[in-house]
Amino acid sequence: MALTLSSRRRSRRLAADAGLLVVAATFALPLLWVILSSLDPHADLKVKTPDGLTLDNFHAILNSDITFTPLLNSLILCGFGTLLTVVCSALAAYPLSRFRSRLNRPFLLTILFATSLPITAIMVPVYALFVQVNLIDTMQGTIFFFAASQLPFAIWLMKNFMDGVPKELEEAAWTDGASSFQSLVRIVLPLMGPGVAVVTVFSFVMMWGNFFVPFMLLLTPDQMPASVSINEFFGNRGMVAYGQLAAFSVVYSTPVILLYVLVARRLGGGFALGGAVKG
């Protein structure tokens, strides 16, 4: 009987491992294609060993018109959009976390509902509004909309992380004469570093890969970010420069990877507050 139970557990474990391997392969194969095709002079849709390693695909895309200007535009849009999102979400989450009100729960549920709205459903009225207020085809208008579209979920995340910081630490600061804003900046935010890092990475990644919003709100080609300019590699009549597309994808992914590496320590950290309020 024990042997049968052990064999069943082993079978279930093997089935689970096989399922995880299938999922891992599903994610790994596209990444493998990107890396191999970027070095292949005759790249196509197949995942195969390159017909000879070459850097010609990178040489073809590393110029101002194709890569550098769109990447700079992406960094400006996503960088300032992320900064605005983190600041506004922290200011909005603080009263939700620290002050009790009957309106807190309805407000949070409204925020949660806003995260489920498809962006395509609101782009037509947003486009009309931006035309009226002269924000269409402007970097600042796109930055504002990027931040506004990420704020609901960012507030939800920030509030949950902020709940983990003991209020007693702020009360001690208030006793010493600190204001609520000073306690937020000097005590709460430094102690919830992992939370700020999560919101930062999440917001930046969501903005970085957004094609539809800048495609709708920006009209001048020189202002287009890399998420839109990547469409230029898809030519007419189904002709695609796969090698250059893969090389551009490698370069395009680099800022996100660097951002994750920079905040990896924060993401792996915790709220080391074990004895902070004792004594």
pLDDT in tens, 240-252: 788 888 999 999 9
Where is average pLDDT lowest: 47-51, 60-64, 65-69, 269-273?
269-273
pLDDT number for residue 139: 94
pLDDT number for residue 147: 93
Q: Is pLDDT larger for residue 43 or for residue 70?
A: 70
**Token couple for 259:** 């951002």
pLDDT, tens only, 210-240: 999 999 999 998 999 999 988 887 765 557 7
Residues in the chain: 279
pLDDT number for residue 88: 93
pLDDT number for residue 272: 45
pLDDT number for residue 233: 79
Q: Is pLDDT larger for residue 186 or for residue 131?
A: 131
* Sequence-ordered strand ranges (E) for the chain: none
pLDDT number for residue 267: 63
Identify any residues that bridge with 234 across adjacent strands, giving them in sequence order: 240
Q: Is pLDDT larger for residue 166 or for residue 269?
A: 166
pLDDT interval class at 266 (50, 70, 90): low
pLDDT number for residue 265: 66
Burial of residue 266 (CB within 10 Å: 0-12, 13-18, 19+) is middle
Average pLDDT estimate for 29-44: 86
What's CA 195's distance to the chain center, in Å? 14
Q: Determine the Cα–Cα distance for residues 275 and 253; give it in Å rounded to an integer.
A: 41
**Token couple for 54:** 């070459």
Quote the pTM value: 0.82
Identify any residues that bridge with 240 across adjacent strands, giving them in sequence order: 234
Asked whether residue 192 carries a pLDDT value surpassing 80, the answer given is yes
Neighbours of 42 (CB within 10 A): 12
pLDDT, tens only, 73-101: 999 999 999 999 999 999 988 888 888 77
pLDDT number for residue 146: 94
Average pLDDT estimate for 53-72: 89
